[in-house]
Structure 1
Amino acid sequence: MSRALPMSVAWLRAVPLWAVAGAGGLLTVVVRLIGWGQGPDVFGDEVFYWRFGHSVAHGGFPRDHGGTFWLHPPGFFYIEGGWERLFGAPADVVSGVYQMRSLNAVLAGLTAVALVLLMVRVTKSTTVAVAVATVFAFDPYILRINQRVLIETSTMLWVVLGFLVLLPLAQRATGIRWRRRAAAAGLLFGVGILTKDVAALITVVPLIVAARFVWPKRRSVPLFTAAMATVPYAIYVGVVAWAGHFDDLWGNKTHGIRRLLGMAQETGFNSAKTPSLNQRLTEELSNFGSTYALLALAVVAVVPFLRRGSPPQRLLGLWYVSAAIALAYAVVKGTLEEQQLYLLIVPTIVIVAMRAHLLWERRVERRRRGPVSRVATVSLLALTLAWSGFTYAGATSEPDDGYERLRQYMVEHVPAGSAITSMSGSASLLLEDRYRMGKWFTPQERAREHVAYVVVPWRIVEHNISTFTPGEARQLTQQGALLFSFHGRTYGTVELYRVPVPPASPVDGRDG
């Protein structure tokens, strides 16, 4: 390891591994909590996931106003419930979302700790582990997912822990204790699946393939691990069936499979209601340029590990390939949502770091190639961190909490129970505990409901994600007076208008 370390970071050899891992985890948490409460702005899924966690704080299945929730398994929601029991129930929906964002920051920190330990085990290099932890802490896409109340952060934690526990068996699967380690790894994978079903594609699937390419003479190791990964979910299904909800679970899961396969395009970039993937990638290039570069490099970096890598390298390579194939299918035909990339970007930085370490070792062994590999490796890390740091600085320099500020303004100036026309589902979710929210547009509808206020997040409207067209939004807001305005990165300009209530007599116009 000492040969692979440049002199400037050789001091890392003297630092205990637990301190390096702890520092990586602490850095990850701190980065996610800087500017906490000022963005990113809240969006609809966060409210739903907070509600599900809030509902199980005192037991029972996850539920919402619409009834019990079965689309996703409940693992993350029970973690949320425990977090709420630990720190107390929030005062309102925004406080609840921020409370669970702090939970995800901690889960991300634990993921960074696991990544440090994983990289040291597979590369024997503390320097590589520190680099991976730093990239994980600052990567703009990873930050976006970790800073929101999304399931994927907790899912990836269990997956990384599973590979960390399993990796020694890829090096040597002998002895009477291998079953204990394999069982522990399988149960960790199983908890990941219990937070998000699709995690089976990046745990169970690579394990089955590994029976041929990693453990050809000890196939019982990956197959036993894969079998143990099904145990937590099987227990969950058994409890649901015992409680009499199996039919509801089955109906939701079959519908979820149809969505995963693309047979039902209700959400995501492949649905007709959202901007195209190409448009979104172009818009986010300035933010996620370093992430895109890592994704492109991993496609090439994984090849040598699959062809002639050590068993641990091949196992991690199969993890990456499984995630890449799953995402590629989602891009072409399935339901593709932004947060799904998180299941690929984490194994991506692992693969790229492993390849960089391999190039650095060759620099030591083959002096003539030293300048090229050294400059390429250091330049890649420097460019990635510089881009990520620049994006992070820009994101934290200006607040992006328009919906929270809107709610505070309305609590002070808009009477509770007022009827409000909302052009965004997220805005409705944040305000419906205090106001009557709807999509009332025509004079008849607004007269019937006595609508005097309109909330408009202009980016949602202009991107045709709202049920209102830009022309309809302008037509309605031109009738009123602007009360509140805020410009942020997430929703553009968020505005509140007071509009005159039409007379009760019916007039011609669109109804419904």
Structure 2
Amino acid sequence: MLALLALVFRIFGVQRANDVFIDEVTYADFARQIAHGHMPSTSGAPFFLHPPGTYALNGLVIRVLGLEGDPMDLALQLRWVNAFLGVLTVVVCFFLVRRLVGVHSAALAAVVLASDPFVLRMDGRLMMETPAGLAVLSGWLLVLKLLDLERGRTRLWLEISAGLVFGTAIVMKDMTSIFTVVPLLAAVLWRRTVTLQSAGRILACSLIPYVAYLGVVVATGLLPDFVGEKSVGVLRMIGAVQMTGFNSVPGVDFTGRLMDLASRFGTSYALLGLSIVGGAVAALSPLAKRRLMGLFSLFTGFVGVYSVFFGAAEEQFGYCVVLAALVSLPVAAAMLVKWHRRLRPVVLLGAAVMVVLSLVLGIQARSVVDDGLVRARDWMNAEIPGSSRVGLTSVTGEFALLPHEGWDVLPSLRSLRDGGADYVLTQGRQLSEGYGFASPEFLTWLEENAQPVFTFAGPTSGDTVVWKLDRTRLDAAVAGGLVLPPVTGGYE
């Protein structure tokens, strides 16, 4: 029943509830490359920022199902893969929490996970976090199972299996090592929650998938490229280099943005904030398996907090934090009730409110129509003459819509004039907040001097608009010295 609930939430609106995200079309293109026997690359250079586990999985799906199309079409089709993996994550979460605190708490946690609006947005897009998060929780479930066993063949096989599953998570997204390897090492030191020998066997097996990946890198002579790009990735993660996320854009009010999104992701933000609290309480439990999950939630929550204040504050970092919170909070709640019986009504009320609000926000998240970029593309293909020149102004527009005859990235008034553009496509939120190529002032100029011929309003991108340019006004503006250069992207 829980799986069915999770499935309904994920398949409803799978291609229309979330506007296309830049990472999706990039990952879809990587999957297509692997499906054709090539290493992932972008702009002609090997891509090593993330390991290829999720791309290989989706590449296999492309090969088996014979999927075709441009990167955006592939991304929309591959969203179904994450939808079904998200269902499995809900099931694994149920079994994991049931092993910790019982079936009733497990059912409540699974309902929240099935309907959580933030998790639904990740599961409803082609993101690495969904398969990686499933592998993380599955590995921990195997670890909890082996903690109940004495030394023997069955425990050894579970250790090997847990290590390989953790390794699968790491080869899907190497940042998950903080959610797997680090808590396991800490568990050896914290009240001998896990024995050194058992942790050693698990960690040794977790290295196997990544070592195999490195072997391919070395065999192809790409180790220097790997080291160079991974070095940049580490600097980005710790915040020494700000290239993506809220912290990379000056002038964006992160707190204000969170307040604006609270009506859509309020319960998700509560889980993100409580991950450390739940983990700290669970880590004090006299039961080893509860302490272990407390450490998992504690370290995962620390990563989320660090990324917000110092690192690359990308929303996808919160996915595993929500998963960890839904594992540790039921444990913390059970411990609080045991310590203070009077808190039982408060805890039950809090759980009921969380479940109801999550269901309401989940229904809201899946019923919204938010596919502005797809609609804009279809409208331009149908309504704009084939000889027209179209200027694109955002990173997502570039990766999702190109190559296309007559369309090009033209994110300044001068480039629009020099490129002979007749139309220009903008996504309001990205440009106004500094996430696109074009400047916010560029959007203001269009509002005053161009004619909107297609408009779609959605919660992700704001107003997605196709503007018909007045060439007389454009030429006069540039001749008068009004260039409005791009804010990023290296374009003139």
Please confirm whether the aligned pair reaches a TM-score higher than 0.5, indicating the same fold: yes
Aligned match of 2:309: 332
Q: How far apart, CA to CA, are the structure 2 residues paired with 1:418 and 1:249?
A: 41
Q: How far apart, CA to CA, are the structure 2 residues paired with 1:74 and 1:416?
A: 38
Aligned match of 2:489: none
Aligned match of 1:476: 446
Give the drift of 1:253. Answer: 0.7
Give the drift of 1:323. Answer: 0.7
Of 383, 391, 400, 1:430 maps to 400
- Determine if contact 1:454/1:477 at 8 Å carries over to the other structure: no
Structural mapping, 1:117-156, within 5 Å: 117-123=95-101, 125-156=102-133
Aligned match of 2:8: 30
Deviation string, structure 1 residues 76-113 (Cα, Å, up to 9, x no partner): 00111111123222334432111121111111111112
Give the drift of 1:418. Answer: 4.2
- The alignment partner of 2:35 has SS state of coil
Question: Counterpart amino acid of 2:313?
Answer: L
Q: How far apart, CA to CA, are the structure 2 residues paired with 1:281 and 1:88?
A: 40
Aligned match of 2:479: 507
Deviation string, structure 1 residues 257-294 (Cα, Å, up to 9, x no partner): 11112111111122135724312211111122212223
Matched, 1:247 2:224: yes
Aligned match of 1:488: 458
Q: How far apart, CA to CA, are the structure 2 residues paired with 1:198 and 1:217?
A: 22
Aligned match of 2:374: 404
Greater mean alpha carbon deviation, residues 54-63 or residues 72-81: 54-63
Q: How far apart, CA to CA, are the structure 2 residues paired with 1:50 and 1:299?
A: 34
Q: How far apart, CA to CA, are the structure 1 residues paired with 2:289 and 2:445?
A: 62
Q: How far apart, CA to CA, are the structure 2 residues paired with 1:216 and 1:404?
A: 50
Give the drift of 1:348. Answer: 0.4
- The alignment partner of 2:479 has SS state of coil
1:34 to 1:257, Cα distance in 2 relative to 1, 3 A: same
1:359 to 1:337, Cα distance in 2 relative to 1, 3 A: same
Greater mean alpha carbon deviation, residues 350-359 or residues 330-339: 350-359
Of 280, 289, 294, 1:312 maps to 289
- Determine if contact 1:25/1:113 at 8 Å carries over to the other structure: yes
CA RMSD of aligned residues (A): 2.3
Q: How far apart, CA to CA, are the structure 2 residues paired with 1:390 and 1:60?
A: 44
TM-score by length of 1: 0.88
- The alignment partner of 2:422 has SS state of strand
1:471 to 1:64, Cα distance in 2 relative to 1, 3 A: closer
Give the drift of 1:75. Answer: 0.2
Aligned match of 1:439: 410
Aligned match of 1:5: none
Deviation string, structure 1 residues 284-318 (Cα, Å, up to 9, x no partner): 11122212223344443333432233010111111
Aligned match of 2:21: 43
Matched, 1:74 2:52: yes
Aligned match of 2:325: 348
Structural mapping, 1:41-440, within 5 Å: 41-123=19-101, 125-213=102-190, 215=192, 218-273=195-250, 275-358=252-335, 362=338, 369=341, 372-416=342-386, 418-435=388-405, 436-440=407-411
**Structure 1 unaligned regions, length at least 5:** 1-22
- Give the aligned length: 481
Question: Counterpart amino acid of 1:153?
Answer: T
Question: Counterpart amino acid of 2:174?
Answer: D
- Determine if contact 1:267/1:273 at 8 Å carries over to the other structure: no
Greater mean alpha carbon deviation, residues 37-46 or residues 420-429: 420-429
Give the drift of 1:331. Answer: 2.5
Q: How far apart, CA to CA, are the structure 1 residues paired with 2:67 and 2:41?
A: 16
- Determine if contact 2:280/2:298 at 8 Å carries over to the other structure: no
Give the drift of 1:211. Answer: 1.3
- The alignment partner of 1:167 has SS state of helix
Give the drift of 1:432. Answer: 1.4
- Determine if contact 1:423/1:456 at 8 Å carries over to the other structure: yes
TM-score by length of 2: 0.91
Of 420, 427, 442, 1:457 maps to 427
Aligned match of 1:3: none
Greater mean alpha carbon deviation, residues 43-52 or residues 28-37: 28-37
1:217 to 1:434, Cα distance in 2 relative to 1, 3 A: closer
- Determine if contact 1:420/1:451 at 8 Å carries over to the other structure: yes
Question: Counterpart amino acid of 1:126?
Answer: V
Deviation string, structure 1 residues 354-388 (Cα, Å, up to 9, x no partner): 2334456x49xx9xx3xx44422332222112222
